Chains A and B, each alone.
Chain A
């Protein structure tokens, strides 16, 4: 079974631009979560989508948004980029069929904002 895939792997943008990142979950997984990883803050939860609905949201500004499609693929968008948005953005998928939540991560998208 193929793992979680994320595209693109690397992105360089300038301040004020917007960016869209894509995530394809493991086949059969219906939940997709997004995290931001920086050296100073570690892994921080952005949001989670399940059956095309945002079910949870972390403490990030409204510039960060996402969506999920009927095939469970997900995208996240960051508008009006700031230097501090430079980070590794990780997507994780989960089956959600058991009593506990096991998440499987993709390789991430490294975003650099200049």
Chain B
């Protein structure tokens, strides 16, 4: 059974602080997606990483895919209250099956 371990589960920080969320697995993924979900809504795709060692930046968010394509991280610089939400990583093992394996999620609260 493929698993994605996401940590930490909860994070409460002050505005302006930096944070990193980790997503780890013993399995290799062909790609990995990061989503952000607000209460009562569906997850919104932030980024897809495909190549081992790949780094993608989205404004203050930096995503990295591990060299072996088994882990990933999301780093937020100078967090803002608008970053509050549930962050989910999801891995695709085969690249062509429509099945994503999700981590348990990281609930981020950024206090003004």
Contact = CB atoms under 8 A, between A and B. Distances in A.
Contacts of B41: 107-108
A102 B30 CA distance: 11
A56 B105 contact: no
Given A96-B96, A100-B95, A43 B42 contact: no
Interface in A50-71: 50, 55-56, 58
Contact of B100 (A33, A50, A99, A108): A33
Nearest to B102: A43
A42 B48 contact: no
B45 A56 contact: no
Interface residues of A, number: 31
A44 B41 CA distance: 16
B44 interface: yes
B43 A100 contact: no
A35 B100 CA distance: 9
Contacts of B43: 43, 90, 105
**Best-buried of B35, B42, B95 by chain A (most CB within 10 Å):** B42
Interface residues of B, number: 26
A42 B4 CA distance: 11
Contacts of A105: 35, 42-45
B97 A48 contact: yes
B112 interface: no
Interface string A54-96: 0110100000000000000000000000000000001010101
A108 B37 CA distance: 11
A56 to B, nearest CB: 5
A94 B50 contact: no
Contacts of A90: 42-43
9 contacts: A4-B42, A33-B100, A42-B102, A45-B100, A45-B101, A92-B42, A94-B98, A100-B95, A102-B48
Interface of A: 4, 6, 31-33, 35, 42-45, 48-50, 55-56, 58, 90, 92, 94, 96, 99-108, 110
Interface of B: 30-31, 33, 35, 40-45, 48, 50, 88, 90, 92, 95-105
